C-alpha cells in the first residue's frame, strides 16, 4: 500500500493525541497520566487483526518508519472518522521520523516515491501543519513558564498547610512534686500566598495547650511552656504574619512582619537540631537571633558576595501598635540584630551576630520585662557554626554571651553543641543528640526553687529519633536530662513520644 494511503490510516491514531474528537479532546489532554505510546509492533494494538484491510498499511508504517501511536488503552480504533487536523498530526509525526532517518544517514531507507508523496502532502496540508506547529510551540512555552514559576506568573496563588503536633510526656519528680503524664498539643494553619511567584505572604493561625513540668527550666517545644506548672491556653491566635520579597535580582530579601517573625526568615544560621522535643532544641529561649520572635519586625538579608558572604539586619518592636508613652514602633521595647554569615565552602557556615535591646522610653521603664523577658537594656553576641560532615550528618554549635544593664542580673554564658542525623535506618528519618545550657537568665528568674540565685546554671542533654510512618505522619521518641535545676543539686528527666501530622 502506498505511503499516502498508509498515512490516512496513521492519522487516526497519531492525530488523536492532539485532536481526538469534539468534546473528547479536553478530557484526554487534561489527564496527564494518559500518554499515547509509540507502537513498535502492530500486535500491541488489541483491536487490530490480520484480517483487517488496513493491517498491512499499519504494519508497513511501524516497520519502516515507526510513526504509529495507540490510544492509552492499547487500541487503534480504525473505524473512527478522521478529520483533516488529525491527519495533519499523523503526517507531522511521520515527517519527523523521516527527518530523523535522513539526519542519521539512513536516507536509503526512504524511497523516492515516498519522498514525492510526502512533499505533495506537505503542500496540501501546509495550513494544518503550520497550525499544529504553532500549537506545539505555544504548549512548550507554557510548560517552560510553569516549570520556571510553579506558583504562576502575575497571579495570586495561595496554599493552605496544616500541622498538628501532640504526644504523651512524663517527668521525674525532682522535688517530690506530683508530676504526672501530660498530653499537650499545638495546631497550626499556614496560609501562604504569592503575588509574583518569588515572594511569600504568610498568615499563621495557632492554637496550643501546654504545661511545663514542675522543676523543668526549659519546657517542651510545642509552645511557650517555660515556667513551673505554667500553662498556655487553647485560644486561637494569629501567631505568624509576614511578607518576604526579593530585591536587586534576588541578592537581597526584604522582610516585613507584623507578628512573631521566625529568625530563619532573615538569618542564615539554620537550626538543624529543631527535631528535638524541648524548647532548647528549637532555640526558642536561647539564641540572640530569637529576640525577634515575638516582635513586629523589619529587616533584610543581603548576599554581599555570592555563595560566600551574607549580611542580615532585623529590627523588632514589642508593642509597635501601642500609642501610649514608652511604646510604639520606636519608643517602646525594641531590639536591633545584625548577623554576618560566611560560607567558605558549601558544607560550612560560620556566623557572628549581635543584638542590642532597649527597655523603652517611658517615664520609668525600670527593670521591666522587655523582649524575651530581659530586664532593662542589654546586649548579646552569638558565634555559631554549621558543618555538614557528610550529607547525612551535620554538626551545629553556638555560644551566646549576654550583658545586662541591671546590676542584679549577672551576665550569661549559654551554649549548644550537637549532631543531627538524617535517613538512618529509615528513609526520611531525623535524629539528633545535643548538649547545652538552658537560658540561664530564665532559669535564675523563673526556676529558682529556693528563692536564691542559682550557684550553677543547668546543663541539658537531649536525644531523639523521628521517623515517618507515612508521608504525612512522623513519630518522634525523645528524652532530655537537665542537671542543677536548683541549688540543692536536683536534676530532672523528661521523656515521651511526639506525633506530628502535616497535610
Q: Do residues 441 and 424 make contact, with C-beta atoms less than 8 angstroms apart?
A: no
Q: Do residues 325 and 363 make contact, with C-beta atoms less than 8 angstroms apart?
A: yes
Q: Do residues 88 and 82 make contact, with C-beta atoms less than 8 angstroms apart?
A: no
Identify the H or E element spanning 11. Answer: helix 3-14
Q: For residues 294 and 394, what is the distance between their CA atoms, to the nearest angstrom?
A: 28
What backbone torsions phi and psi does residue 472 show, to the nearest 5 degrees?
-115, -5
Q: For residues 492 and 216, what is the distance between their CA atoms, to the nearest angstrom?
A: 7
Q: Which CATH superfamily is domain 157-502 in?
A: Porin (2.40.160.10)
pTM of the model: 0.65
- Could you write out the DSSP letters of every residue in 212-248? PPTT-SS-BTTTT--STT-EE----EEEEEEEEEEET
CA distances from 438 to 268, 355, 483 (A): 22, 19, 10
Q: For residues 463 and 435, what is the distance between their CA atoms, to the nearest angstrom?
A: 9
Q: For residues 29 and 35, what is the distance between their CA atoms, to the nearest angstrom?
A: 9
Per-position pLDDT tens, the chain of length 503? 444 444 444 444 444 333 333 333 333 333 333 444 567 777 777 787 887 776 777 777 776 766 777 777 778 777 777 676 677 677 777 777 777 777 766 656 566 676 677 667 667 767 766 776 666 667 777 777 666 665 444 456 788 999 999 999 999 876 666 667 889 999 999 999 998 888 999 999 988 888 778 878 788 877 554 444 444 556 788 888 899 999 998 899 999 988 777 767 788 888 888 889 988 887 644 566 666 666 778 899 999 998 899 999 989 887 787 777 777 888 778 888 999 999 999 999 999 999 888 876 544 433 334 444 555 688 888 899 999 999 999 999 988 888 877 765 667 778 899 999 999 999 999 999 999 887 554 444 444 444 455 567 788 999 999 999 999 999 999 999 998 877 777 888 999 999 999 99
Distance from the Cα of residue 123 to its chain's centroid: 53
Q: What is the 3-state secondary structure (H, E, C) of 244-302?
A: EEEECCCCEEEEEEEECCCHHHCCCCCCCCCCCCECCCCCCCCCHHHHHCCCEEEEEEE
Indicate the domain borders of the chain: 3-148, 157-502
Q: Within 401-476, where are the H helices?
A: 440-446
Amino acid at each position: 500500500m502506498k505511503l499516502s494511503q498508509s498515512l490516512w490510516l496513521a492519522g487516526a491514531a497519531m492525530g488523536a493525541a492532539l485532536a481526538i474528537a469534539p468534546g473528547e479532546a479536553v478530557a484526554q489532554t487534561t489527564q496527564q497520566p494518559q500518554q499515547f505510546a509509540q507502537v513498535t509492533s502492530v500486535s500491541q494494538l488489541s483491536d487490530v487483526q490480520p484480517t483487517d484491510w488496513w493491517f498491512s498499511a499499519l504494519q508497513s508504517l511501524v516497520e519502516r518508519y515507526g510513526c504509529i501511536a495507540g490510544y492509552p488503552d492499547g487500541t487503534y480504533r480504525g473505524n473512527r472518522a478522521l478529520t483533516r487536523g488529525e491527519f495533519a498530526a499523523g503526517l507531522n509525526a511521520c515527517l519527523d521520523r523521516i527527518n530523523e532517518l535522513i539526519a542519521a544517514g539512513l536516507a536509503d531507507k526512504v524511497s523516492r516515491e515516498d519522498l514525492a508523496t510526502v512533499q505533495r502532502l506537505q503542500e496540501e496540508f501546509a495550513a494544518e501543519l503550520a497550525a499544529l506547529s504553532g500549537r506545539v510551540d505555544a504548549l512548550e512555552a507554557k510548560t517552560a513558564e510553569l516549570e520556571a514559576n510553579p506558583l504562576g506568573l502575575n497571579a495570586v496563588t495561595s496554599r493552605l498547610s496544616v500541622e498538628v503536633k501532640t504526644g504523651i510526656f512524663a517527668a521525674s519528680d525532682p522535688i517530690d512534686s506530683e508530676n504526672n503524664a501530660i498530653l499537650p498539643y499545638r495546631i497550626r494553619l499556614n496560609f501562604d500566598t504569592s503575588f509574583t511567584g518569588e515572594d511569600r505572604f504568610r498568615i499563621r493561625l495557632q492554637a496550643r495547650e501546654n504545661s511545663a513540668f514542675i522543676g523543668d527550666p526549659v519546657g517542651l517545644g510545642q509552645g511557650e511552656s517555660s515556667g513551673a506548672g505554667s500553662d498556655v491556653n487553647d485560644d486561637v491566635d494569629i501567631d505568624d504574619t509576614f511578607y518576604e520579597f526579593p530585591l536587586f535580582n534576588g541578592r537581597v530579601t526584604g522582610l516585613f512582619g507584623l507578628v512573631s517573625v521566625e529568625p530563619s526568615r532573615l538569618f542564615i544560621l539554620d537550626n538543624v537540631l529543631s527535631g528535638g522535643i524541648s524548647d532548647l532544641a528549637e532555640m526558642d529561649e536561647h539564641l540572640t537571633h530569637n529576640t525577634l520572635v515575638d516582635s513586629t519586625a523589619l529587616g533584610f538579608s543581603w548576599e554581599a558576595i555570592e555563595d560566600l558572604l551574607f549580611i542580615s539586619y532585623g529590627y523588632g518592636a514589642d508593642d509597635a501598635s501601642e500609642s501610649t508613652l514608652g511604646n510604639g514602633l520606636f519608643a517602646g521595647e525594641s531590639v536591633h540584630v545584625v548577623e554576618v554569615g560566611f560560607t567558605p565552602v558549601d558544607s560550612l557556615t560560620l556566623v557572628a551576630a549581635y543584638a542590642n535591646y532597649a527597655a523603652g522610653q517611658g517615664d520609668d521603664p525600670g527593670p521591666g520585662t522587655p523582649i524575651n523577658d530581659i530586664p532593662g537594656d542589654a546586649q548579646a553576641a552569638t558565634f555559631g557554626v554549621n558543618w555538614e560532615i557528610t550529607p547525612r550528618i551535620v554538626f551545629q554549635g553556638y555560644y551566646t554571651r549576654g550583658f545586662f544593664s541591671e546590676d542584679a542580673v549577672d551576665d550569661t554564658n549559654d551554649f549548644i553543641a550537637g549532631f543531627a542525623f538524617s535517613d538512618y535506618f529509615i528513609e526520611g528519618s531525623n535524629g539528633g543528640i545535643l548538649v547545652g545550657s538552658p537560658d540561664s537568665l530564665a532559669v535564675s528568674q523563673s526556676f529558682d526553687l529556693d528563692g536564691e540565685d542559682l550557684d550553677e546554671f543547668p546543663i541539658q542533654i537531649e536525644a531523639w529519633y523521628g521517623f515517618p510512618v507515612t508521608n504525612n505522619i512522623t513519630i518522634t521518641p525523645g528524652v532530655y536530662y537537665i542537671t542543677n535545676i536548683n541549688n540543692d543539686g536536683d536534676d530532672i528527666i523528661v521523656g515521651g513520644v511526639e506525633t506530628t501530622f502535616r497535610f
